[in-house]
Every structure is written in C-alpha cells, then in structure tokens.
A and B are shown apart, each in its own frame.
Chain A
Amino acid sequence: MTQTAADLTPAVHVEHCMGTVFTIDLRDPGLWDDAISAVVAWLHRVDAVFSIYRDDSDISRIRRGELRVEDADPHVAEVLDLCTVLQAETGGYFTAFWDGHLDPTGLVKGWAIEHASEFLHASGCHNHAVNGGGDMQLAGEVAPGEPWRVGISDPQDATRLLTIVQGRDFAIATSGVAERGTHIINPLAATPARDLASVTVIGRALTRVDTYATAAFAMGGNALQWLEAQPGHEGLVVAADGIATPTSQFYAP
C-alpha cells in the first residue's frame, strides 16, 4: 500500500452551517473525503431538522402545532429528551422550553458536534477536532505525542488569551457576551444574565460541556460553585469585573 505525500497531509474542511462556521480537522494519515462528506451532510441535516430560523424545519412545524414529536425526525425525540435531562441537571438554568417556546438550539450544536466526532472515530479517524464557532470536541492528539492546545480568549480584552488548555479527548465550550452585549437569558429570573463576562467549561463530551457553559453563565454568581460540583467537568469563570477564577482542578496538580 503506497501513500502519497497528499495522503499524509492533515485534512481541514470548513463548512458554513447553523449560522456559524464549522472546522473539521482530521489528523490521521489517510483519505477522508467520504468521512468529511458524511459529517457535512450530518450537520446540514441537523440544521434542516432543528433550525428555528427555517419555516420548514421539524422544530418550526412542531412549534406551529403542525407536527407531533413522535412523527418528526427520530433525532428530535432524542434531543428533546436530552434537553429534559440537562434542564434537570442544571437546575433549570438550561431550558429548551423558556417562555413557552420550544427552542433546543442551545443544545443542538454541541450534540451534533459530539455525534460527528463519534462518527469520525468509528470511521477510523482517531485524531481530529470538530469545532463549531469556538465550541469543540477534540479527539486524540494534534500530532503523535502532542496534545491539542486550545486558547481561551479574554472576554474583556480580545488582545489576550486568558490561558491555554491542552489535552487529549476532551470538549471545550465558552459562553459569554464579550463585545456584543447580553444574549443569554437567565430563565429562572427571566432577565438577561449580566453578572459574568464568560464561562468556559471543559469535560469529555460537548453536549454536556456546551450546555453546562450556557447554564453556568445564566447562574451568574453561583456558576463556580455549581461547576465545582459537576463530576468530570472543570471551568473558568470570568466575572463582569474581569476577574477569572478556575475551578479547583482546572489546572493539573
């Protein structure tokens, strides 16, 4: 079996989907065109089923009362069940049912990325990253013996990175407001979350990591204490005054 130099070059694919940009970065030598195509098709299928901005999506039709969950794409039931689980785990700070409107958007992107990563692994690509707008699942290593390194941007000074996380087989997500103003609602208080500048969460799998970051951001002053209590997850909480505080095991001993 001969391999050309092109076979050994990491394959990076960029795809616009779900109102953001996905980077699919495959680090194993090989020809991954089919796997990349499958991941791209998966992401667009998820968007077609779950987008609240598309009138013909399953979610939009469910919202209008035109479609029952049990008649929708089977992934809808899976996602809504996960939303229920995550709503309970976060004490209601994550919800797909706020203000009477079904909106699982906050969970879908991370869930789609986690599944894409599992698919790539099952396809034989054990070293890769799937990144959707700065929230990502990282598998294996960036190169033999080298862990993935992810910078966390400072929400108050974009010229700085707060720190660098490195590791193998992990997920990382950041929720915040940075320069664009508030866009996360505290569903329990029904007011915009304003106490924090950003929350970054790291853990094994992006569905939980991403949802936890959103929920912790909405918690405000209780975010750090709550993250501390979540097994397998660590976080970096940046208060509105810019003070960044990690959970106790965020930095390895």
Chain B
Amino acid sequence: MRRVIAAIASTAAGLVMLLSFKTHSPTAPTSAPAATSATTTGSSSSPSTNSSTSTSAATTVTGDASDTRYGPVQVQITVKNGKITNVTATQYPSTDPRDQQINAYAIPALDQEALQAGNANINMISGATYTSDGYIASLQSALGKAGLA
C-alpha cells in the first residue's frame, strides 16, 4: 500500500507544479477544462494564428509513416501562406478486401476532417481507432514539419 500512496503523492506533486504555473487561467484547480461551442461546419472560422511561416508558393510536406496494426499510414499536406490547402493519404493499409472497403470510406473522409481541422485552428485531434490514430499521427508529423503544429 505504501507504493500506492507514494505513486499518488508523486502524481499530486506533479499536478501542484503544473497548477502553480497556471497564472493565466481563472478556473478553479479542480474544474475540468471547458469545451467551446464552436463547430467546424462553417467556413467563416477565424484565420489561423499559426501563419508565421507564410510562403507565397504552395509547398507539400509528407508526414512520417505511422505504423498501425493494419499497416502503415502516411499523410501528405499542401501548405500555402501558412494554411493547409490539401491533405492526402499517400499510404494506407489495403492488405485485404475488408481493409480496402473500410479505408475507401475512412481515408477520404478523414482528409476532409483534416481540412476542416486546419480551418478550425485546432492543435490536436482526439479520436479512437488504429487507422485514424495513425492518420492523425502522420498528419501531426506533417504539420510539425511544416511549422504549423
């Protein structure tokens, strides 16, 4: 039992350190962070604040291939003036008909999501499943390489 207490104490100490830095946030330490009511369906979202790496010409950046248990997933983004203008999956699992059927739906759909994510100025995506995890990881890698993440 002593180890349990020690583990919890060390976690709590880490939290105290984190919370002590919270000079900007007016929320109480025990409250969970708030969700915004923003949706990504509109096209009038505010411009990205990550536009410091603006370039006049479009450039393509390929993310690291991400291994999933169904195979590698790799994402390529096109960036122009600091904004994502296109996202494609250059590699995804298609080792059997079932995978192909799933991915024929999932990958193009995720492409659209990634574009919307770019417009919505989000930093990360939380989601389930192996392939979308791999896709997201490769996308985030590409965003990092492009200086947008």
Residue A32 interfacial (CB < 8 Å): no
| Size class of the contact patch on chain B | 35 or more
CB closest chain-A residue, reference B98: A181
Q: Give how many A residues have a beta carbon under 8 Å from the other chain's beta carbons.
A: 86
CB closest chain-A residue, reference B142: A14
Please indicate the chain B residues that have their CB under 8 angstroms from the CB of A246 in the complex.
Answer: 35
The minimal Cβ–Cβ distance linking B77 to chain A, given in whole angstroms, is 14
Within 8 A of B (CB), among A142-200: 142-143, 145-153, 155, 157-161, 163-170, 172-180, 198, 200
Please indicate the chain B residues that have their CB under 8 angstroms from the CB of A174 in the complex.
Answer: 126-128
Residue B57 interfacial (CB < 8 Å): no
* In the bound complex, CA of A236 to CA of B37 (Å): 13
* In the bound complex, CA of A200 to CA of B147 (Å): 28
- Residues on B close to A: CB < 8 A? 3-4, 6-8, 11, 14-15, 17-19, 21-22, 24-25, 27, 29-41, 49, 63-64, 66-70, 102, 105-106, 109-110, 112-113, 116-117, 120-134, 136-138, 140-141, 143-145, 147, 149
Give me 12 other A-B pairs in contact (C-beta within 8 A), A9-B147, A161-B125 excluded: A16-B67, A19-B68, A25-B149, A82-B7, A155-B128, A160-B41, A163-B38, A164-B35, A164-B120, A166-B33, A179-B105, A236-B35
Q: Could you list 21 examples of A-B contacts with CB < 8 Å?
A: A9-B147, A14-B63, A20-B68, A22-B137, A23-B144, A25-B149, A134-B132, A135-B126, A139-B21, A146-B49, A149-B122, A151-B117, A160-B41, A164-B40, A166-B33, A167-B34, A169-B25, A173-B126, A180-B102, A249-B32, A250-B34
